[in-house]
Structure 1
């Protein structure tokens, strides 16, 4: 019977998904399927949507820039990244930016860059939200008002929940004496095995 079940193929139970998988792969597929309904990963938000709709919801509701952008009628469609390409942004008025991977193969990854003011300076941190098995690395580059540049390389952690708390590891600390900065660049790369 176990061999028969291994051969049996079933459609994904999520509306909108057309994948056909074996019975034994169903749970793994549903965990990574972009059509699985999930609660928004940002704390204190009970909105439920599929991963494919998460970027639009996150950019509109959870980017600190959202109220200012809405006031000026700006779209978040410009907050896109292509793996291996540097994305430059001015961060001085924002505390969080949300980036979506630009792909031709369907849904891309969602990356959040946050910063927190601390007594000794400012912490910068990036992470990937949502399901997925791909691994990424990232490089942050800050251009300081003094003309100096700082850069930081790390692996991009994948999280299912956003805590709005400063991270304990994998962050860049810019000392207070080096602030302010003019712009920030981030380059995200997909790790290959």
Structure 2
């Protein structure tokens, strides 16, 4: 540790002042806060063997509570000193270079990054490797891939027309500067249809719900979701939940889908 500094903090009520020394330091190598077994960030509880070798709570059962360095038992004695260091170590947000000024406790960066407004989002086009903030991504997609997307407004039903083989259709909401991905997945039981918003889960992005409706030969399939899932990168893996299922007997031979889609801005409903 280098760059240590001290300051006096005063606490107490009227007529009483108690000085408490506050010290801070700079940690040169954050790797010492990682588990030496799995190399992931340590998290409480942290355990140590009689020789002082550390292991995280996840690794101890896998090691059968046997220290890999010296074979002494590990998983019973807590390392309170390292836990105190861990709980007092703040690091910059991974998006500091993009403008985020917040700090978070070491090992908790990923939790903050999911909700950080500065988190980078990936272009949904498979041939494009662009990444940027969700608003910059909106501008990029509108400028570069406009012929593959259409603009819609929240609260108004639109017909999304796509071939199942295309797998994805992008809708742009100009007011929110957001991209919404309508995806379809052909499975043995039919076609799954999902809707996601390409943005971090930051409160500033907003909250949205959606409704899907598909009709063929007088038969209608309706799916309503109270929340649009936010993703920073579109996944082309078959979803396990939150999807509309269109059975094979309701599909057109051409593979064309005509789905009525309505996205609702839950915070700005008229």
TM class by smaller structure:
0.5 to 0.7
> RMSD of aligned C-alpha atoms?
3.8
Aligned residues of 1:55 and 1:100 also touching (Cα < 8 A): yes
Matches within 5 A, 1:35-54: 36=118, 38=120, 40=122, 42=124, 46-54=129-137
Distance 2:150 2:127 in 1: 24
Distance 2:211 2:231 in 1: 18
Distance 2:267 2:249 in 1: 38
Shift in CA distance, 118/182, structure 1 to aligned 2, threshold 3 Å: closer
Determine the structure 2 residue equivalent to 1:140: 212
1:117-175 Cα deviation digits (max 9, x unpaired): 0011100011111123222110001122x232221101211122322101111101111
Determine the structure 1 residue equivalent to 2:231: 159
SS in 2 for 1:52: helix
Aligned residues of 1:102 and 1:108 also touching (Cα < 8 A): yes
Determine the structure 2 residue equivalent to 1:108: 177
Confirm whether residue 85 of structure 1 aligns to residue 167 of structure 2: no
Shift in CA distance, 59/112, structure 1 to aligned 2, threshold 3 Å: farther
Distance 1:156 1:39 in 2: 16
Determine the structure 2 residue equivalent to 1:192: 267
Aligned residues of 2:199 and 2:232 also touching (Cα < 8 A): yes
Distance 2:193 2:102 in 1: 43
Distance 2:179 2:123 in 1: 12
Unaligned runs of 5+ in 2: 1-6, 10-95, 104-111
Distance 1:14 1:32 in 2: 13
Unaligned runs of 5+ in 1: 3-12, 67-73
TM (norm. structure 2) is 0.48
Determine the structure 2 residue equivalent to 1:178: 250
Tell me which structure has the larger Cα radius of gyration: 2
Distance 2:173 2:142 in 1: 13
1:73-128 Cα deviation digits (max 9, x unpaired): x734x61121110111222363211111121xxx5222111000001110001111
SS in 1 for 2:210: strand
SS in 2 for 1:90: strand
